[in-house]
Amino acid sequence: MLSPEGRVVMVSGAGRGLGAEIARRLHADGYGLSLGARDVGALERAWDGRRDRVAAFRHEAREAGSARAWVERTVKRFGRIDGLINNAGVLRRFTIEDARDDELDLMWQVNAKAPLQLTQAAFPHLKRSGSGRIVNVASLSGLRVKRTDFVGYSMTKFALVALTHAARQEGWEHGIRATALCPSIVDTDMAAGLGMPREQLITPETVAAMVSVLLALPNNASIAELPINIFSEPGY
């Protein structure tokens, strides 16, 4: 397994929910962390007193140039990038018949285009690492369609899974390994309106533990897709 010592990981959407839990787990593991969020002030306050291996930067998934600026500031601060966790995401619910372009455009930007922009900007540094890791927090909705009111969300998460496979293939010879992490419903604010009992949901701590494992796997043990179920679903 790879040691976290000296390795630097970027985590998008790190200000709350799943992203915050992933950051806490990776900090406990010993990684250097470059955390991205829209509200940098709140992020800095949350990590006050634990800033030895942590830097907070503004990342706005809806703004062109935000990804490259964050990557450049990360390299200036740490000198390297060894991992990228594309965690930031957004959900808008609609069916085919009531789909709205503005809601779909928002999900395309946050769930698909922003991860591509971050991956593109970080790719040269991940190649130099020799054991670069990309974990794209997709969803089971990126592997199958179960809810018709998730049609737009599924479209964008399927695209994120496709990006994962492209990054895995393009970066393979340089030691880059990419995984589409595909949990079912996680107990976060995004799931609050779905009406599911919390005890049935996946905890953020569980997903963060999976991210920890994926980052530590050696180059000769690559996982392309990792579904996490809460129901029995054939094939997943």
Known catalytic residues are 153
CA angle 55, 59, 63 (to 5 degrees): 160
Least Cα distance to 21 among 11, 30, 10 occurs for: 11
Q: What residues have CB less than 8 Å from 158, skipping those under 6 apart?
A: 142, 143
Q: What residues have CB less than 8 Å from 153, skipping those under 6 apart?
A: 91, 92, 93, 107, 111, 139, 141
Task: Tell whether the torsion through CA atoms of 53, 55, 56 and 61 is positive or negative.
Answer: negative
Which amino acid would we find at residue 144? R
Q: List C-alpha distances in Å: 11 to 24, 98, 150, 211.
A: 11, 33, 25, 11
Euclidean distance between CA atoms 58 and 222, whole angstroms: 31
Q: List C-alpha distances in Å: 160 to 71, 108, 165, 226, 232.
A: 20, 10, 9, 13, 24
DSSP 3-state of 227: strand
Query: Tokens 């690492």 label which residue?
Result: 129
